[in-house]
Structure 1
């Protein structure tokens, strides 16, 4: 495994973990006051109508995490030399890039629509950007 591939897989793994955490916050813990405040929702009355959207968004983030995890697993399970199974590494790389690209697009959308949330956008967008960049530089 090359250094670039290792960096890509580590960054993708970090993106997976972060998106699973976001799923937990949005889908499972959204009604808790401290979690609501993370998303800028101050009152319990305001959180009730937003809960459906938060749950849906959380599941979306979990789906992205699963896509990237499948890409990582395919890469790790396949040899990168020519021969039997090498195509699974290429398929895994394509799946990883596709999932990370959507994560990156969501982060760019967040910062474009809510510039005050630039830190959250960085947390959400830097790991998939690094994963894509390191993989494409191989």
Structure 2
């Protein structure tokens, strides 16, 4: 179960790196505007500064989980699992905030929150035995 948790955390980290890319680098692109429903380039430009900052939050969560995965595989199980729990748990919490604050974005919340939630559960179960 630990390996499943680490793989799920890795998938969640990759998703959050992609979200970082969309929010901080490609915010006004056709792809980002289509995914986030920001409308025209002008409308997206008005939100660009906020999206840029938010993208870095997603990147830092991905880095936290990624470093945790690496440390765990190097035998630093306590530090590694702690970072995976922090990164994945924060991703899960952020998806719940999105779901509660904007129920119409349930699909987006699921896309960003299911993998890290399953990672937390699998890692917790794996470490319990």
TM range (shorter): over 0.9
The unaligned stretches of length 5 or more in structure 1 are 79-87
The unaligned stretches of length 5 or more in structure 2 are none
Aligned mate of 2:93, from 81, 92, 105: 105
Q: Secondary structure at the match of 1:137?
A: helix
Alignment: residue pair count: 126
What is the rounded CA distance, in whole Å, between the counterparts of 1:35 and 1:135 in structure 2?
32
Greater Cα radius of gyration, structure 1 or 2:
1
Q: Offset of 1:34 from its aligned partner? A: 3.2
> When you count helix as a share of all residues, which structure comes out higher?
2
**Residue by residue, what CA displacement relative to the aligned partner does 1:21-68 show, whole Å, maximum 9, x if unpaired?**
001111111111331131121122211220001111111111110000
Counting only pairs closer than 5 Å after superposition, residues 70-109 of structure 1 correspond to structure 2 as 70-78=67-75, 88-109=76-97
Q: Which runs of 4+ in 1 moved over 2 A?
A: none
Normalised by the length of structure 2, the TM-score is 0.93
Over aligned residue pairs, what C-alpha RMSD do you find?
1.0
- The higher-RCO structure (CA 8 Å, 6+ apart) is 2
**Equivalent in the alignment of 1:82:** none
Normalised by the length of structure 1, the TM-score is 0.87
